[in-house]
Amino acid sequence: QVQLVESAGGLVQAGESLRLSCAASGSTANFNVMGWYRQAPGKQRELVATSTRGGSTNYADSVKGRFTISRDNAKNTVYLQMNSLAPEDTAVYYCRALKVVAGTSYEYWGQGTQVTVSS
């Protein structure tokens, strides 16, 4: 069973930076897609950023130019570097991993970590 363990989030002020990490119990190189999602109070969970095994990345428009997703397969870890944080970035952030084996998709989620940005 794959486990994803996210680092602690935190409380930061607007304009500051924070880096989240997500350590996988298995090799991240085995995952077709790894990504970060977030859910703010009263809102649906939304995509923040994804990274494919081939190296492609995708970002939500709201975080483009501020957030960077990266994978370190040697450490089985995916990161989310968040710069110029704003109060609207306040949410619970979740790590997600997707593996496709013989046409069957397997999806895994981390437990979530709270990020709070004060103005």
Q: What is the pLDDT along the chain (119 residues), one digit of tens a residue?
A: 889 999 999 999 999 999 999 999 878 778 999 999 999 999 999 999 999 999 999 999 999 999 999 999 888 899 999 999 999 999 999 999 999 999 999 999 999 999 999 99
Dist. CA 78–CA 75, nearest whole Å? 9
**Token duo for residue 42:** 């009263």
- The C-alpha angle 57, 42, 18, rounded to 5 degrees, equals 45
